[in-house]
Amino acid sequence: MSEVPQGPFVDGEFVSARVHEPRPMINPASEEAWTSMSNASTELVEASVQSASRAFERSWRGLAPGKRSRILFEIANAIRKHAARLARLESRNIGKPIADARDEIALGATVFEYYAGAIDKFCGETIPVGRGGLDFTVHEPLGVVAAITPWNFPFPIACWKVAPALAAGNCVVLKPATLSPLTALVLGQLAVEAGLPPGVLQVLPGEGGTVGAMLAHHPSIRKISFTGSTEIGRRMMAAAAVDLKRISLELGGKSPNIVFADANLERAADESPMSVFANAGQDCCARSRVFVERSVFDDFVERFVSAAEALRMGDPLDPQTQIGPLVSSAQREAVLAYVEKAQSDGRKVLKMAQALPEKGFYVSPTIVVEPAISDPCWLEEIFGPVVCIRPFDEEGEMLAEVNRTSYGLSGSVWTQDIGRAIRISRRVEAGVLSINSHSSVHVQAPFGGFKQSGIGRDLGMHALHGYTETKNIYVGETE
């Protein structure tokens, strides 16, 4: 098997016809072109969707649940077997620290195991309807699903769309982000080697505006499962409206980290920097707005700074590295523009002391202390290693400010008072809350946003429902 995929994976093989000219792929740590990728042409997209539709009818929808389950377990095994290679690919492709990449590949395997095991536990109902007779529901697959994914967590997000969609009996056309197609392509290949019939999972590298838009508008696609920006999410919804495609959207965030004076400050401050600086801040769940009760504000900021200064930034392939470069120079420029704006507005901006490597799209972890509540850095998703910290005095006012954003993805609450912890987490408008923790993603639990952070839920049994239609069947009385 070729070490680095260079084009689409369709009908069980890598294809080199009906593709565009190869374009160089830049390693964000070295800024050097290290491989190339040929994107799918519109002809190839069309052929891929048609053959996925045929695979749905011929080989996948009718397969016994036990066989589907077996194949998904085999895919998980193949991911684990190739984990080291997948992690290296991800790291070179987007500059992700190798230790994180390894964890994310393992997470992808766990997702396949979870849905492999869920297939024969995903039950319908029998319902005692008024007429008598027998009434029952079945979960029917939708058909061909388009999965469109972002570049920040390429492998796990691909898995948490593909695995439940396949488990529910659908076929999938996966369009990874333009910048990060490599591990998704290997997933396609491993899946077929593990026994998935060709055509059931097609992987099409390409630009969003062409391949992505074509899938979103394609009449044979029954659902768009999208993770990315709120801006493109809106376009996905407009595209879905044309033929009422099913849709799920996991979008941006600007999530709060709320620290009360009675919290275990040492733990809160130790763990909070990585809740926003992990993945160099390119995380939809990043706790990028920190609210600290005023009496412990200075103490917390001091502890936060010293924990942040201890983070190891550098070569993504070094297993000790915690913070790598951003994905691209464009992303670095966008992030630095927020920092420069805060500086020119006269805000207190602390750049952590890590030495910036000579090459690579690195940005120093940065703390903006007490920005104004109208500042862009306080309100907008930055998607880089920048955090804003503000003091608060009163719970009600703090909550109003927490919820005064169009986003609602995640959030954390730190306090020893269990009543307050529950009260606050019930009132934060977000889909994923954690108390005395920053953990957001659990394979077994629903993940998704309120408001403009999205619609629908990934992961857990919730996702399976999202990849099926409920059909009610009534059988008349026989006597």
Q: Could you tell me the two tokens for 36?
A: 């190339």
**With contacts defined by CB under 6 A, how many residues of the chain interact with ligand NAD?**
29
CA 362 from chain centre, in angstroms, equals 22
Asked if 431 interacts with ligand NAD (CB under 6 A), we say: no
8 or 454: whose CB is closer to ligand NAD? 454
**Residue 154 binds to ligand NAD (criterion: CB under 6 A):** no
Least distance from C-beta 422 to ligand NAD, angstroms? 24
Residues 439-458 that bind ligand NAD (CB under 6 A): 449, 454
Q: What's the min distance (Å) between Cβ of 235 and ligand NAD?
A: 5
Neighbours of 21 (CB within 10 A): 7
How far apart (Å, rounded) are the C-alpha atoms in residues 143 and 157?
Answer: 20
Least distance to ligand NAD from the beta carbon of 322, Å? 19
* Beta carbons within 10 angstroms of residue 219's beta carbon: 9
Span near ligand NAD by CB under 6 A; candidates 53-61, 146-154, 291-299, 314-322: 146-154
Here the tokens at position 369 are 């202390």
- Helix, strand, coil in percent for the chain, rounding step 5: 45, 20, 35
Least separation in angstroms between CB 113 and ligand NAD = 21
Number of H helices, E strands in the chain: 15, 20
Q: Does 229 bind ligand NAD (CB under 6 A)?
A: yes
Nearer to ligand NAD, 183 or 227 (CB): 227
Residue 25: alpha-carbon gap to chain centroid? 22
Let me know how long the chain is. Answer: 479
Both tokens of 474, joined, read: 């009534």
Site for ligand NAD in 163-222 (CB under 6 A): 175, 177-178, 208-209, 212-213, 216
Task: For the CB of residue 337, give the shortest distance to ligand NAD in the complex, in Å.
Answer: 16
Q: Indicate whether 253 belongs to the interface with ligand NAD (CB under 6 A).
A: yes
Find the catalytic residue in 250, 271, 293, 381.
250
454: nearest Cα among 428, 431, 425: 431
Q: What is the CA radius of gyration of the chain?
A: 23
Dihedral through CA 318, CA 324, CA 327, CA 331, nearest 10?
-160
Tokens in use for 113? 């195991």
* Residue 283 or 293 having the CB closest to ligand NAD: 283
479 is catalytic: no
251 binds ligand NAD (CB under 6 A): yes
Candidate segments 77-85, 145-153, 263-271, 396-404, binder of ligand NAD by CB under 6 A: 145-153
The answer to whether 277 touches 308, Cβ cutoff 8 Å, is yes
Judge whether 284 counts as a catalytic residue: yes
Which of these ranges, 21-29, 117-125, 128-136, 227-235, lies near ligand NAD under the rule CB under 6 A? 227-235
Contacts with ligand NAD in 24-53 (CB under 6 A)? none
What CA–CA distance (Å, rounded) separates 324 from 271?
A: 18
Of these, 235, 351, 423, 451, which contacts ligand NAD (CB under 6 A)? 235
Task: Tell me how far apart the terminal alpha carbons of the chain are, to the nearest angstrom.
Answer: 62
- In the complex, the smallest distance separating the C-beta of residue 118 from ligand NAD, rounded to whole angstroms, is 20
Q: Is 284 in the site for ligand NAD (CB under 6 A)?
A: yes
387 and 367 Cβ atoms separated by less than 8 Å: yes
Q: How far is the CB of 248 from ligand NAD (least distance, A)?
A: 10
Tell me the backbone φ, ψ of residue 351, rounded to 5 degrees: -100, 130
Measured distance CA(58)–CA(419) in Å, rounded: 55
The tokens for 51 are 């053959």
Give the C-alpha separation, 155 to 75, whole Å.
Answer: 14
Give me the catalytic one of 284, 285, 377, 388. Answer: 284
- Whole-number minimum distance, CB 218 to ligand NAD, in Å? 11
Can you tell me which of 227, 272, 364, 412 binds ligand NAD, judged by CB under 6 A?
Answer: 227
Residue 151 binds to ligand NAD (criterion: CB under 6 A): yes
User: What are the residues whose beta carbons fall under 8 Å from the beta carbon of 198, sequence distance 6 or more?
Assistant: 11, 12, 13, 55, 192
Please report whether residue 252 would count as binding ligand NAD according to CB under 6 A.
yes
**Residue with nearest beta carbon to ligand NAD:** 208
Residues identified as active-site = 250, 284
Binding site for ligand NAD (CB under 6 A): 148-153, 175, 177-178, 208-209, 212-213, 216, 227-229, 232, 235, 250-253, 284, 381, 383, 409, 449, 454
